[in-house]
Amino acid sequence: MKNSFYVLFLLSFLTSCQQQDVNRTAVVKSYYSAFDSGNYNALKAITNDSVTIISGDFTTNYDKEAFYEFYKWDSIFKPTYNTIEIEEENNTVLVTVAQKNKRNSFLQNNPLKFKVRVSFTSGKISKLEELKYINVNWNEWNQQKNALVEWVQLNHPELDGFVNDMTMKGAMDYLKAIELYEKKELLN
């Protein structure tokens, strides 16, 4: 009986040590690589059952289903992600990312560079906190976005609301709005 106790204790200890030795840097690289390659199953394997994304004043909590919707929204813009710099800090990872996509291109900030603090629960990503954006021209971004929104409201009200619609349909409407707007620009 005594030996069984020691064996169970040793197995528990080794298992807990193994779970703590997660290579967080590799997990973060895999996260952005999975977004880049469009591999949701890889994302699902390395994210917690709930993921919180903090961007400025906005905090969004996702369960697995809602995170999948966010993933689909992002994928419509045909993104590419490049990790520029990555370092572990205590139990988190600080990563600088360059994201290129069709939306950022239209908004005149492509690639969009930003620094993120990634937190973990049980070895899986549970929180991504955007710390700062690097060399982003927010004036240009907002001018482009506002011009597009105003033009859509006047000329294609069926697409109105695309900016805040974080669903796959919202992203498709966003791209459609950009396409129509740019076509109008070419005709002028």
Predicted pLDDT at 21: 63
Give me the mean pLDDT over the 122-142 stretch: 96
> Residue 39 and residue 11: Cα distance in Å, rounded?
34
3-state secondary structure string, the chain? CHHHHHHHHHHHHHHHHHHHCCCHHHHHHHHHHHHHHCCHHHHHHHEEEEEEEEECCEEEEEEHHHHHHHHHHHHHCCCEEEEEEEEEECCEEEEEEEEECHHHHHCCCCCEEEEEEEEEECCEEEEEEEEEEECCCHHHHHHHHHHHHHHHHHHCHHHCCHHHCCCHHHHHHHHHHHHHHHHHHHHC
Percent of the chain with pLDDT over 70: 87
Predicted pLDDT at 169: 96
pLDDT tens-digit readout, 36-58: 999 999 999 999 999 999 998 99
Predicted pLDDT at 12: 47
Q: pLDDT class for 73, splitting at 50, 70, 90?
A: very high
Predicted pLDDT at 20: 52
Q: pLDDT class for 24, splitting at 50, 70, 90?
A: very high
Q: pLDDT class for 141, splitting at 50, 70, 90?
A: very high
pLDDT tens-digit readout, 148-186: 999 999 999 999 999 999 999 999 999 999 999 999 866
Predicted pLDDT at 22: 77
2 pLDDT more than 80: no
- Average pLDDT in the chain: 89
| Domains of the chain, first to last | 23-62+80-136 (3.10.450.50), 137-188 (no CATH)
Give me the mean pLDDT over the 61-69 stretch: 95
> Residue 175 and residue 41: Cα distance in Å, rounded?
25
Give me the mean pLDDT over the 64-80 stretch: 95
Give me the mean pLDDT over the 12-29 stretch: 68
